[in-house]
Structure 1
Amino acid sequence: METPISSKTKTQIFVVENGKQRLRQDYLTTEEPLEIRLVFPHRTIAVTMRTPGADFALAAGFLYSEGLISSKADIQRISYCVDKSIDGQQNYNIVNVELRTGLFADLQSLERHFYINSACGVCGKASIEALQLRGCRVVEEEMIITPEVIYSLPDQLRAAQGVFTATGGLHAAAVFDTQGRLLNLQEDVGRHNALDKLIGTALLSGELPFHHHLVMVSGRSSFEILQKSIVARVPIVCSVSAPSSLAVSLAQEFGITLIGFLRGEKFNIYAGSERIHLA
């Protein structure tokens, strides 16, 4: 059973227009913390601010993209915390993950990854080397996509964003096939959470890796977006804004086609132009 917490929250606001104010009801994107715990060893491995919904997929996607699991079979069970000693009732902001017997997550590797992502003095080269040490390989899938397929992605993404339409304050991650058909979309207050939900959903349904697929995210492509895409074996990553410098370096190092500023019939290719069929 997934969380009953709504992804939208009602509020009263004052709208000021032409020097006059009026009161009306509006919707905000719900933002709540999600704590991801391992049952054994009993340990909290992450706390993220997220939009409720697809919490089990978010947990599974996080574990997969961070290298703690390698397949759906590594997960024995995912459930919400039922420890009533915490607040006296069912807690839908804590997810317990029980890994299969005999699997011991490399938590030291996870800690090293977090250190690399948060330490100001650690360079981009160290971040790339950390992924290589985890065994992440170059994405070598051969596929050729026409610009017309790329052009079609933003409108499909926006049309499928139900919560964004209501609140105007949510990111999305979507996966498409080589013909540009939308296969799945997930929304969250954070881009990386939306991508974890997307990857986790595919993991739990046996649809990973994302060979011969395209992924598009709203906003920009960051290191985290590329890192998760590499683990999910995504050949082409698109975004509506510019990528970061480290995202470009990752794309170049791991063979990902990286597209940014995808708006209308125009986009920039930052890496992997060989997958785009150009006249």
Structure 2
Amino acid sequence: MKKSGLVTYGKVYKIRGERANASQDLIAVEEPLQIRLEYVYKEAWHEKNLMVTMRSPGHDFDLAMGFLFAEGIIQGEKDILWMRYCEKVKKEEQGNVLVVRLADGLDFDSQVLDRNFYTHSSCGVCGKTAIDAVQAKLEKIRPGDNKKMSYQTLFTLQDAALVNQTGFKYTGGLHAASLFDSDGNLILLREDVGRHNALDKLVGAALREGMSLQKDRIVVLSGRVSFEMVQKAVRAGIPMLAAAGAPTNLSVDLAEDKGLTLIGFLKKDRFNIYTHAGRIMDSG
């Protein structure tokens, strides 16, 4: 298959009733990305193969920054000296090995580097100990003076995001995370084969571009809402998270505890509010 960014062409057999036709069709691209971390420990530089994730090629710097931020390794763009692709790799690995050098003197919990960060497109945190650790580290989202979002505005968000999901439009195989303001204006969108990667890319892009993720903001997800998706949103200070699919019980519990407004089953004419409904304006 010839690869080109988010999508590639491949031969498929399309079955329509009793007829089968061979044709070329667009397919979502999925490739592994390895992130290598360089950091100072005990006055010496160290290198760590931090993670491997299956992702859609593109916006890899956003993905790396969003992931490192979500894990608490960095607090912002200033904590990274540089990011670049490793050149001393096999031909098939070119563009798929990313080196991130952290700022000298950066204070972070080095034990987090001992986690097994091998991930895939539907991964999540595992085990009660890991979940308890996540909950303990996350700060609550302040109620603040956020502008309330109307029912009518919420009804428009899925279509507004879908129009800009180029990869999904051609393949049907990509997730998206979209950032809107409270008036329903699209600010930023990222796509990826993995739900978690899409949100990491969105958060990373916002950090790199100096965009606010907090006051009067809502993030819309194309899929369901797991515990880790809420974790990433809370870590970034996002006040409202809406999704086309269903939330899990753990995601609802975490959203309730940390002050996040969580919305599921967002459609053109309906949605469910699971937590902190005060940020939503009654249509009446």
TM-score (norm 2): 0.89
Distance 2:263 2:92 in 1: 46
Distance 1:137 1:98, change over 3 A: same
Question: Once the 2 structures are TM-superposed, how far is the Cα of residue 211 of structure 1 from its aligned partner?
Answer: 2.6
Q: Indicate yes or no: 2:109 matched with 1:101.
A: no
Q: Which moved more, 1:110-119 or 1:67-76?
A: 110-119
Q: Distance in 2 between matches of 1:216 and 1:113?
A: 29
Equivalent residue for 1:141, pick from 144, 162, 176: 144
Please tell me whether the aligned partners of residues 82 and 89 of structure 1 are also in contact (alpha carbons under 8 angstroms).
no
**Contact 1:212–1:234 (CA under 8 A) maintained in structure 2:** no
Shift of 1:271: 0.3
Does 1:159 find its partner at 2:163? yes
Alignment match, 1:75? 80
Cα deviation code 1:148-181 (max 9, x no counterpart): 1111100011111001111111100000011010
1:240 aligns with 2:240: no
Give the aligned partner of residue 224 of structure 1. 228
| Counterpart residue number, 2:126 | 118
Answer whether contact 1:31 1:50 (CA < 8 A) is retained: yes
Contact 2:141 2:239 in 1 (8 A): no
CA distance in 1, matches of 2:14, 2:6: 23
Identity %: 39
1:137 to partner: Cα distance? 2.9
C-alpha distance in 2 between matches for 1:132 and 1:71 = 21
Which residue of 2 is the match for residue 189 of structure 1?
A: 193
Q: 2:220 & 2:62 partners in 1: Cα distance?
A: 18
Aligned match of 1:7: 6
User: How far apart in 2 are the matches of 1:142 and 1:243?
Assistant: 26
Q: Which residue pairs with 2:68 in the alignment? A: 63
Match of 1:266, SS state, is coil
- Give the 3 Å change call, closer, same or farther, for CA 113–217 of structure 1 in structure 2: farther
Confirm or deny that 1:26 pairs with 2:25: yes
**1:209 Cα deviation from its structure 2 partner:** 4.0
Q: Which runs of 5+ in 2 are unaligned?
A: 40-45, 119-123
Distance (Å, rounded) in 2 between the aligned partners of 1:63 and 1:227: 13
Structure 1 residue 53 corresponds to structure 2 residue 61? no
Counterpart of 1:205 in structure 2: which amino acid?
A: E
Given that 1:172 and 1:185 are in contact with CA atoms closer than 8 Å, whether structure 2 keeps it comes out as yes
Question: Any gaps of 5 or more consecutive residues in structure 1?
Answer: none
Mapped contact 1:113–1:130 kept (Cα < 8 A): no
Give the superposed CA RMSD.
2.1
Shift of 1:5: 5.3
In 2: Cα distance, 1:12 partner to 1:218 partner: 27
Is the partner of 1:68 in helix, strand or coil?
coil
Q: Distance in 2 between matches of 1:178 and 1:117?
A: 30
Question: Could you tell me whether the CA contact under 8 Å between 2:51 and 2:116 is conserved in 1?
Answer: no
1:138 aligned counterpart, secondary structure: coil
For 2:6 and 2:52, locate their aligned partners in 1 and report how far apart those are by CA, in whole Å.
18
- State how far apart, in whole Å, the 1-side matches of 2:9 and 2:95 are: 19
- Helix, strand or coil: the match of 2:271? strand
Decide whether the 8 Å contact of 2:227 with 2:251 is kept in 1.
yes
Contact 1:169-1:189 within 8 A present in 2 as well: yes
| Worse-matched range after superposition: 53-62 or 103-112 | 103-112
Label 1:223 to 1:139 Cα distance change in 2 as closer, same or farther (>3 A). farther
Q: Matched residues in 1 for 2:48 and 2:114: separation?
A: 13
